[in-house]
């Protein structure tokens, strides 16, 4: 009984939580809606990072590159053609003269993110540990540098605006659910299990015939595609974006979410993303003054101090995160009751 129920719970509980946030978003006032949408898009990004980092145990600072690539691909191609020639005159003609629908742009964002991750991962997936951390950080820097300076493929250092704002509560929820669903299916698949085996003991996994490089590359590519999709959702939520928004700070916040929730489980990724988003939104409001019985005002910058301190604290005191790195399970008394029956 338990054996059949646990996997269902592992998908149902995170999904139900995401749906609840989606419903809250659709009921929220116009000014509050953005906080819920942000939380949902964060879930998509963090789960995308989890697919690679959680299952492989290899640290990556680079997954936000794929968010950035997805966001700018989806953004640049959905600015109306009539306006594009005047706001983005430097683009390659093929990008300048064509636009696509916003749903197509999400699919394209996922494809571009996945392709980019595959090409990057091809050499990089040979690296482990510290070297992988530094090399993926280099990828983040290269992506940022190219997006910021190369005006043939994007807006360069200026803001990309006039992107249709089509990521509402429904689409953000569906997007987050899709990412969670894919991550769950991968987790339970043969490949997911093989990759986790290489994480837990590389030598034994290799001896058992698992091709470490191939499994890591697969997860990296999948993670890149999901991150690209999340980037597409992000740009259609914001309507305008700069390269600075998909760079160091986003990398920091999303890694903090994953670490706080628990790096090695899907449940940890979802819970961490929602918990830290909630905290972050509350502090962002408190920086402008928020009414909680009395008016609480904290200095600008407090949210990063709190999130940074929380992340460092979790890493030092409880490296497995809030969830202990485990998936959702039945409460202990239910398991015992069922074992007895």
Partner 1 sequence: MSGVVASVDAQTLVDAVGLGAIFALMAVGIGLVFGVLRLVNFAYGQLVMAGAYTLAFTAGLPLAARLAACLGVVLALTVALERAVFRPLRTASPAVMLVTTFAIAFLLQSIALILDLRDGTIGEAAASVGGLNQAVSVGGVDVRKVTLVAIAVAALALGLLALLLARTTLGLHMRAAAADFQTARLLGVRADRVIASAVLLSGVLAAVVAVILTVRTPLVTPSFALMETIVVLVGVVVGGLDRLWTATLGGFSIGFATGVINGALPTEHTVFLPSAVFALVVVVLLLRPGGLFAPGRSALVERV
Instruction: State the residues that interact with partner 1 by CB under 8 A.
Output: 58-59, 61, 123-135, 138-139, 141-142, 145-146, 149-150, 198, 202, 206, 212-213, 216, 249, 252, 255-256, 259, 299-305, 307-309, 311-312, 315-317, 319
Indicate the residue among 227 and 307 with the shorter CB distance to partner 1. Answer: 307
Query: Strand, coil or helix: what is 79?
Result: coil
Least distance in Å: CB of 67 to partner 1? 17
Alpha-carbon gap, residue 203 to 196, rounded angstroms = 13
Indicate the residue among 53 and 176 with the shorter CB distance to partner 1. Answer: 53
DSSP 6-66: HHHHHHHHHHHHHHHHHHHHHHS-HHHHHHHHHHHHHHHHHHHHHHHHHHH----S-HHHH
Indicate the residue among 90 and 301 with the shorter CB distance to partner 1. Answer: 301
Q: What is the CA radius of gyration of the chain?
A: 20
Least distance in Å: CB of 150 to partner 1? 8
Residues 6+ apart with CB under 8 A from 90: 151, 152, 156
Residues 6+ apart with CB under 8 A from 301: 287
Alpha-carbon gap, residue 48 to 25, rounded angstroms = 22
Least distance in Å: CB of 120 to partner 1? 9
Least distance in Å: CB of 17 to partner 1? 25
Indicate the residue among 61 and 186 with the shorter CB distance to partner 1. Answer: 61
Indicate the residue among 99 and 265 with the shorter CB distance to partner 1. Answer: 265
Least distance in Å: CB of 209 to partner 1? 14
Least distance in Å: CB of 319 to partner 1? 6
Indicate the residue among 16 and 312 with the shorter CB distance to partner 1. Answer: 312
Q: In this structure, are residues 257 and 277 in contact, taking their beta carbons and an 8 Å threshold? A: yes
Alpha-carbon gap, residue 51 to 105, rounded angstroms = 22
Least distance in Å: CB of 272 to partner 1? 14
Least distance in Å: CB of 302 to partner 1? 7
Burial of 245 per CB tally in 10 Å (0-12, 13-18, 19+): middle
Give residue for tokens 């980019």: 116
Indicate the residue among 63 and 167 with the shorter CB distance to partner 1. Answer: 63
Indicate the residue among 198 and 323 with the shorter CB distance to partner 1. Answer: 198
Least distance in Å: CB of 116 to partner 1? 14
**Which residues in 301-333 are b (16+ Cβ under 10 Å) and which e?**
eebeebbeebbeebeeeeeebbbebebbeeeee
CA 324 to chain centre: 20
Indicate the residue among 101 and 308 with the shorter CB distance to partner 1. Answer: 308
Alpha-carbon gap, residue 134 to 128, rounded angstroms = 10
């Amino acid at each position: 009984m338990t054996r059949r129920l646990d996997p269902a719970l592992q998908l149902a509980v995170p999904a139900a939580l995401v749906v609840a946030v989606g419903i809250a978003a659709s009921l929220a006032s116009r000014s509050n809606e953005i906080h819920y949408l942000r939380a949902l898009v964060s879930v998509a990004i963090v789960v995308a990072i989890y697919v690679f980092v959680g299952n492989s145990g290899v640290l990556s600072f680079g997954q936000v590159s794929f968010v950035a690539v997805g966001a700018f691909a989806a953004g640049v191609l959905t600015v109306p053609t009539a306006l594009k020639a005047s706001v983005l005159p430097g683009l390659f003609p093929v990008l300048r003269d064509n636009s696509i629908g916003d749903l197509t742009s999400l699919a394209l964002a996922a494809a571009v993110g996945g392709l980019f991750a595959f090409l990057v991962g091809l050499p990089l997936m040979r690296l482990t540990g510290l070297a992988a951390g530094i090399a993926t950080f280099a990828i983040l820097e290269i992506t940022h540098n190219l997006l910021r300076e190369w005006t043939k493929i994007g807006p360069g250092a200026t803001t990309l605006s006039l992107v249709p704002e089509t990521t509402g509560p429904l689409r953000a929820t569906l997007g987050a659910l899709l990412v969670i669903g894919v991550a769950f299916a991968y987790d339970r698949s043969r490949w997911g299990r093989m990759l986790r085996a290489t994480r837990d003991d590389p030598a034994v996994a290799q001896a058992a015939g698992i091709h470490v490089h191939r499994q890591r590359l697969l997860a990296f590519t999948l993670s890149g595609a999901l991150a690209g999709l999340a980037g597409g959702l992000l740009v259609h939520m914001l309507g305008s974006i700069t390269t600075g928004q998909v760079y160091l700070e986003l990398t920091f916040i999303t890694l903090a979410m994953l670490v706080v929730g628990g790096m090695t489980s899907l449940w940890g990724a979802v819970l961490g993303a929602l918990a830290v988003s909630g905290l972050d939104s509350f502090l962002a409001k408190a920086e402008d003054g928020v009414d909680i019985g009395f008016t609480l005002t904290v200095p600008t910058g407090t949210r990063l101090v709190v999130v940074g301190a929380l992340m460092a604290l979790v890493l030092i005191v409880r490296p497995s995160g809030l969830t202990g790195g485990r998936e959702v399970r039945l409460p202990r008394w239910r398991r015992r009751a069922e074992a007895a029956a």
